Each structure stands twice: as C-alpha cells, then as structure tokens.
C-alpha cells in the first residue's frame, strides 16, 4: 500500500478505500498521532459494522496505548453514541466509520473531550503531518511511557437513557413507525432507544452488514428511501425514519410516504427547543429554507446563519451558546448533546411532536414547510470561478437584489433566493433555489442552470 495522506485526510475526517489507501499499520500511526496532538492520557474508541472496522479500530487503540494512553473501547456504536461517550466520560474519541460511503471505504471521525470536533484547523492537519512523518520513517518513535490499558465498556443503555431524558415520550399517543436502518448502525441503536416507549416498531434492514446488500445507507438519495416509502404506505404507519450508515443522520417520511424536508424538521425541532428553553439562539446553514429563521423568530429565538459544513455549525454553536442547529443534509446539533449532531434525538423530537397531537405528520409539518425548494443540483464545470462570476453578472443589476458571498454566491430577490457554491473536492457547482411557489422556483432554477452549464 502506498498511502497519499493528502487524499485520505479530508476537511473533517479521515476517509478512503481499505486496503488500497489505508490499512491497520497506518491506523496505528493515526492512533499515536491523535494522542500526541490532543495531549490525552485516556481516550474512547468505537466502530461501525463495516468488515474492516474492528481491525482498524483495534490498531488505532494499539497505537494510542503504546504511548501510555488508557483506551476505552465501546465496540459497535453509532457516531452519536461515540459522541455521547466522549461527552459523558470527558474523553477525546475516535469513531471508525465511512458514514454513507460504499463498503470498501472506511474512515475516522475524531473529537476532543466533550465531543468537540477535530478538523483541519483544530488538530487534523497536525495529525496528518505526524502520521506522514512517521510513515516515511517506517514507524512512530518509541515512547518511554508505560503502555496504557485497553478495556471494554458498554454504553448503549446509558446513551439511550440519556436521549430519553431529553425528550419525554412516555405520554404520547401510540404511534406506528417504520425504521429503515439500511443495514447500518441504526439497527443497533434503535431497538434500545425505542424500548418501552409507546411505539410499534416496524424494522427494515436492521441486520448489521457493512456490504449494504439492500441499498446504500444514504437517505438523502431518493433512490434509497423508495423501500421505506412503500412500506410506510403498506403498513398504514404514522411515519417512517431512515438512518445513514453510522446513524448520525435521520431522514423522515410522512404517513403518505412523502419525504419531509430536513429544513421543516429543523424548524419543528427549533420551535420545540425554543419553547422548552424560553428562547435562545438557533444555527442554520445558508441553504436551509426561509421557513427556519421565520419559525425561530416566531418562537422568540435568534436565528444565526452559517456556511455549509458541520465544522462551521459546531464552531458557531460553541461561540454563541446556541441551543440547537440544523442543516439541509439532515444533521441536527443540540447544546444538550455537547453541541454534537444526533439524528436519533431529532427523531425523538419528531415522535414527541406527532404523538402529542391528533393530526397526521403531513399536517403537523405543513406549518414548517412554507416554500418550494429545488433540492441540491450539481453541475460539472471547467472553471468554477468563471461560472460563478457569470451568475453574479446576470443578477447583480436587477432591482431589489441582495447579494452575499458568505459561502459561494447567494442571490435574494423578493419572491425567491438561490445559492451557488463550489465543491471543495470536485469540479462541481452546487445550486439550491427556493421560492414562494413552484412556478417561480422552476423558472429561477432553470435560468441559473442555463448560465452555470453554458
């Protein structure tokens, strides 16, 4: 294996093909580098159900323990269960997962104590530099420290109890809920979290299988929720939930099998958290719906708009003391969960809101889904800057236009807005558009795409 760490170490995590791009000896170097950069004397490690995850996780543990650090292994877990362990135990953590990527991939999501993120600007670039240096020399330098211990600890029951302590579901009306775990870690966490609640659970693809035999574990791709939509209708269920591979994201479909926009879920959860806290700050990225800041203000809160990307959301959560944050990608962040993202807690809020009234989910979320969105549309371009400049030139002189460049280019007019932003890793421009009605959205979407793809 010839490792190119510039390809392997991304903006927020490590991710690549095993064993072509990385393997257990490199995972061991990452473990040693992680503890050196964090200065930890103890860490916690978890992993998902991918075939390569247990070996990579154990190699990382060996690398850490060899430098005198005590390692707590929590074994199979969701990413938010690892964040729970990092927060509850006060330890830096590492989660072995490649989220929704295909089976041959694996990765590491790392955090400092209290689930604080480790990204390029907060330690990941230094971890990469150390690992590269040691890889070139063949090994990490010997340590004088007494090797640390590696012990096993179960956290699933404590994780489930903690989530249930944040949302009271004991008095809701009985609900029938279909859950598609996509053969990912939702199949591990959902039965325990839902146990004893007034929920009739209809499980789909709960068998842990990192080869993903039924469909990719990425619920944002419409093709991957078709089975869930069909089953919700067949069962006459109240709603459906779909989790991604590491179960940190949750996607919702209503009783008709129709997808519920993550912006609507963000607004619904924001309203509940604001009502519970008597106000507060709510973070949303710049491509969530107009509905989100409107609902936040209506419930006495202060909306704060950020760039796209979980590192920006988490940083703003910490600096502003926000109670909640949401993204268009179905990542939901909670102050009461160490500012980390947990799709499971968002799902519990949806179940509590639905079960606390008599109407269907479609009626409940209509209050929070006020506009028509395009969804994210990707276009391959030769020159991102030139196409962005062309879009700007086409709109900057229009009456009443507001332009901003917080992340790419956002153009706001009276009855519509759109954002065009470049991908950091591919020659793509990503378009998101929203309007007050379908016809206006379609017109603006097609107009902007024509410029981008000219």
Catalogue the active-site residues: 99
Torsion of CA 391, 392, 396, 400, to 10 degrees: 70
DSSP state for residue 412 in the 8-state scheme: E
Return the residue matching tokens 């991918």.
50
CA 294/CA 313 separation, integer angstroms? 19
Cβ atoms within 10 Å of 20's Cβ, excluding its own: 11
Question: Strands 280-285, 324-326: parallel, antiparallel or unpaired by DSSP?
Answer: parallel
Cβ atoms within 10 Å of 356's Cβ, excluding its own: 14
DSSP state for residue 158 in the 8-state scheme: H
Helices first, then strands: H and E counts in the chain: 15, 22
CA distances from 386 to 96, 152, 381, 427, 433 (A): 39, 54, 9, 12, 20
Cβ atoms within 10 Å of 406's Cβ, excluding its own: 15
CA 317/CA 334 separation, integer angstroms? 8
Structure tokens belonging to residue 98: 């490649």
CA 205/CA 198 separation, integer angstroms? 22
Q: Which residues pair with 94 in a beta bridge?
A: 45, 110
Q: Which residues 6+ apart lie within 8 Å of 16 measured at CB?
A: 7, 8, 22, 105, 106, 107
């Amino acid at each position: 294996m010839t490792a190119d760490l510039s390809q392997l170490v991304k903006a927020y995590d490590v991710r690549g093909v095993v064993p072509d791009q990385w393997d257990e000896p490199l995972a061991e170097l990452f473990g040693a580098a992680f503890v050196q950069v964090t200065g930890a004397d103890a860490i916690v490690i978890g992993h998902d159900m991918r075939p390569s995850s247990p070996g990579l996780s154990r190699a990382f543990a060996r690398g850490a323990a060899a430098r005198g650090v005590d390692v707590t292994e929590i074994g199979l877990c969701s990413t938010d269960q690892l964040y729970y362990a990092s927060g509850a135990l006060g330890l830096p953590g590492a989660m072995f997962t490649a989220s929704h990527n295909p089976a041959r991939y694996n990765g590491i999501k790392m955090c400092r104590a209290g689930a604080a993120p480790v990204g390029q600007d907060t330690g990941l670039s230094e971890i990469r530099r150390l690992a590269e240096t040691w890889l070139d020399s063949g090994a990490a330098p010997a340590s004088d420290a007494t090797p640390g211990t590696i012990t096993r600890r179960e956290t699933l029951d404590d994780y489930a109890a903690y989530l249930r302590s944040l949302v009271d579901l004991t008095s809701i009306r009985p609900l029938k809920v279909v859950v598609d775990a996509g053969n990912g870690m939702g199949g591990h966490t959902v039965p325990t979290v839902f146990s004893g609640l007034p929920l009739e659970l209809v499980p789909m693809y709960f068998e842990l299988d990192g080869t993903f035999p039924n469909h990719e574990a990425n619920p944002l791709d419409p093709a991957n929720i078709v089975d869930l939509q069909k089953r919700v209708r067949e069962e006459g269920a109240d709603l459906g939930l779909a989790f991604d591979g590491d179960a940190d994201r949750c996607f919702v479909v209503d009783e008709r099998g129709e997808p519920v926009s993550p912006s609507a879920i963000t607004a619904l959860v924001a309203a509940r958290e604001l009502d519970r806290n008597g106000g507060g700050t709510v973070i949303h990225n710049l491509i969530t719906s107009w509905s989100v800041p409107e609902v936040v203000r209506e419930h006495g809160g202060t909306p704060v708009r950020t760039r796209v990307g979980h590192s920006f959301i988490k940083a703003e959560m910490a600096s502003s003391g926000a109670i909640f944050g949401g993204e268009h990608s179905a990542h939901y962040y909670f102050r009461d969960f160490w500012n980390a993202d947990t799709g499971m807690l968002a799902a519990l809020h949806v179940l509590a809101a639905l079960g606390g009234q008599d109407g269907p989910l479609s009626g409940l979320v209509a209050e929070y889904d006020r506009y028509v969105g395009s969804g994210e549309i990707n276009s391959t371009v030769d020159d991102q800057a030139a196409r962005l400049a062309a879009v700007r030139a086409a709109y900057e002189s229009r009456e009443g236009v507001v332009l901003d460049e917080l992340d790419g280019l956002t153009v706001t007019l009276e009855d519509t807005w759109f954002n065009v932003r470049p991908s950091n890793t591919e020659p793509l421009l990503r378009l998101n558009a929203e309007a007050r009605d379908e016809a206006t959205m379609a017109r603006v979407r097609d107009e902007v795409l024509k410029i981008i793809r000219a």
